[in-house]
Chains A and B, each alone.
Chain A
């Protein structure tokens, strides 16, 4: 009897593992009735600069939820982390728009009840239910902050401020250029080609046909000999600029702020071609063990004060326009500097990160997938 039971259990376990869903699907809602007592712990995956002590420590004190932070350098890494160990190792992730759909369709995140997050009603209208975090009226993500990928340079070495992305594609600064080590960087090249080679017919830098992708790869391969290093972490780029190895490159405003704080004379701009950028959302793991702490955190980071602190620390724009006065309180004029006073026109300049999909928006299946981009990026890097 005993051995039979054992064997049955083994067979059951085996067949269960074989029957693991080959096709994942978005998770159904499982809302808590109310935000109750915290579980004492919260594990988050965030961008560097997204979980600073300035606002995490007060949250820990106020909520009793100890926050364990894990920084990720790319959207791909965030997706991989949220799936590591079968999911559920991390509760929240600050995913950008090129990761959100992968997480939703991968069944890795669960819908959020925005009724439990009152500040959501105050958010900018196009960030309340954007297509990259809201599916059929279900909010899989809560918008957080957004901003452009900028062109940054060392103003001591480059006197005349560059105004075009051509600065990182031509030979003027050969051997002193750095760009992110990230397949989504292909979109930056595509954006540049969209303006400089209209004959290619690129309309959206994230929807490239094979021919357009090949053209972007050619441009990036020409750029490669000019590159000092492809940076993997923001701290890498900061070190490159500090030690004089790089004088110009693609960056996040975070690096500009960090370098300025270190007395390195850097400047940044959104060049004339426009810029790629990110719109981040906090997403809750489908297997989270600390849902109460997560909701407390979501409420906390949606508050005008924290949105303002985050925006100024990283150099980006909050989703909650009520943060405007708080921003000016921390740094006079910062609300205008980050365009929170007129967000609509600024929002249009930025081509926000999306997941490249094989099916283009026009329904044709001739676009290249993110897998194609990853392979192309390896070819570029060599």
Chain B
């Protein structure tokens, strides 16, 4: 004890060295995460990018390490891969929009109207599904939407015609919107909660009615929260490949499915790598735009 306090122990000496050289302690703190990022993340991406220039032997399926642009050429020119990329992006955008519309009133109620007890109960209810397995929730939807599923059973009970939405893109849209909704509610809630109450009073004092206050005060101030939430919903949908397999029908493949099929099934890793750069570029652009809107301030 005495040694450590007087600074003569080994730990003490290290401590005083770091005190004398603040740069050193900063480097010590930052180096491990940077090394981790560099080695695990950046290096993996670099390897991925390099692999995209290789090709695969037609017969044995072995990787041929000759430089070629053929994979990128195919990604860029083949109509089917354009269609799949477009479908993925459109679905991600649609899901983001749906979740924003669904999440806003919910988050507003939680942040500004509900009392503390109800608020806690609601937050718990929003987050609770995330504690169960993603797969279990998607499978549950598959059973709900199936031909003889819960939905049609209820509809027929009410004397209505059954809805044939199982294994379609509509089913995918519903499931994605459901699964990623909490990721939109939470950041919007955080943004709304931060708006000082007196801004509302000020708006009213200046003659702003409900709609005007909403458009001029609430919406602009919650925009970073919406954008932060959209980063989650957009990127999570963009990268998903399990929901299309489980609840999608014919013509539901995503970028992720093509990548998966080429890695796990066709063993064409170079082509998969080339195609995987598409969402990477899309996400980079999206994040850059989100940063300009100030979305990272509320995350």
Q: Report B-chain residues with C-beta under 8 Å of the C-beta of A239.
A: 142, 146
Q: Is the CB of A74 within 8 A of B65?
A: no
Report how far A106 CA is from B263 CA in the complex, Å: 16
Query: Does A139 lie at the interface of the complex (its beta carbon under 8 Å from any beta carbon of B)?
Result: no
Query: Does A243 lie at the interface of the complex (its beta carbon under 8 Å from any beta carbon of B)?
Result: yes
CB distance from A119 to the nearest CB of B (A): 31
Known contacts: A80-B263, A243-B149. The answer to whether A381 contacts B58 by CB under 8 A is: no
Q: Which of the segments B5-13, B104-112, B225-233, B246-254 contacts the partner chain?
A: B246-254
Query: Does B83 lie at the interface of the complex (its beta carbon under 8 Å from any beta carbon of A)?
Result: yes
Known contacts: A74-B265, A228-B167, A382-B83. The answer to whether A245 contacts B250 by CB under 8 A is: no
CB distance from A96 to the nearest CB of B (A): 14
**Closest A residue by C-beta to B79:** A379
Q: Report B-chain residues with C-beta under 8 Å of the C-beta of A76.
A: 265-267
Q: Is the CB of A24 within 8 A of B62?
A: yes
Q: Is the CB of A245 within 8 A of B146?
A: yes
CB distance from B287 to the nearest CB of A (A): 29
Which residues in window 210-264 of B have CB below 8 A to A?
Answer: 245, 248-251, 253, 258, 261, 263-264
**Closest B residue by C-beta to A378:** B80
Q: Report B-chain residues with C-beta under 8 Å of the C-beta of A378.
A: 80, 253, 258, 261
Query: Does B288 lie at the interface of the complex (its beta carbon under 8 Å from any beta carbon of A)?
Result: no
Report how far A175 CA is from B265 CA in the complex, Å: 27
Q: Is the CB of B56 within 8 A of A371?
A: yes
Classify chain A: how many residues form its interface, as a range.
35 or more
Query: Does A102 lie at the interface of the complex (its beta carbon under 8 Å from any beta carbon of B)?
Result: yes
**Closest B residue by C-beta to A101:** B59
Name B's interface SS: loop
Q: Is the CB of B267 within 8 A of A227?
A: no
Q: Report B-chain residues with C-beta under 8 Å of the C-beta of A230.
A: 250
Q: Is the CB of A106 within 8 A of B249?
A: no
Report how far A381 CA is from B286 CA in the complex, Å: 29
Contact of B250 among A24, A229, A243, A244 (CB under 8 A): A229
Contact of A106 among B58, B61, B83, B253 (CB under 8 A): B61
Known contacts: A77-B265, A382-B80. The answer to whether A371 contacts B58 by CB under 8 A is: yes
Query: Does B166 lie at the interface of the complex (its beta carbon under 8 Å from any beta carbon of A)?
Result: yes
Q: Report A-chain residues with C-beta under 8 Å of the C-beta of B83.
A: 382
Query: Does A149 lie at the interface of the complex (its beta carbon under 8 Å from any beta carbon of B)?
Result: no
Which residues in window 241-262 of A have CB below 8 A to B?
Answer: 243-245
Query: Does B35 lie at the interface of the complex (its beta carbon under 8 Å from any beta carbon of A)?
Result: no
**Closest B residue by C-beta to A246:** B147
Contact of A22 among B64, B250, B268 (CB under 8 A): B64
Known contacts: A22-B65, A244-B147. The answer to whether A106 contacts B60 by CB under 8 A is: yes
Q: Is the CB of B59 within 8 A of A80?
A: no
Q: Report A-chain residues with C-beta under 8 Å of the C-beta of B266.
A: 76, 183, 371, 374
Known contacts: A80-B267, A224-B251, A378-B80. The answer to whether A105 contacts B59 by CB under 8 A is: yes
Q: Is the CB of B264 within 8 A of A245?
A: no
Q: Is the CB of B250 within 8 A of A227?
A: yes
Q: Is the CB of B59 within 8 A of A358?
A: yes
Q: Report B-chain residues with C-beta under 8 Å of the C-beta of A370.
A: 58-59
CB distance from A222 to the nearest CB of B (A): 12
Residues of B within 8 A of A (CB): 56-62, 64-65, 80, 83-84, 142-143, 146-149, 164, 166-167, 245, 248-251, 253, 258, 261, 263-268
Residues of A within 8 A of B (CB): 21-24, 74, 76-77, 79-80, 83, 102, 105-107, 175, 183, 224-225, 227-230, 232, 239, 243-245, 355, 357-358, 369-371, 374, 378-379, 381-382
A-B contact pairs, 6 of them (CB 8 A): A80-B264, A224-B250, A227-B249, A244-B146, A374-B266, A382-B84
Q: What 11 additional pairs, Cβ within 8 angstroms, besides A243-B166, A379-B80?
A: A79-B267, A105-B59, A232-B245, A243-B146, A244-B148, A245-B146, A370-B58, A371-B266, A371-B268, A381-B250, A382-B250
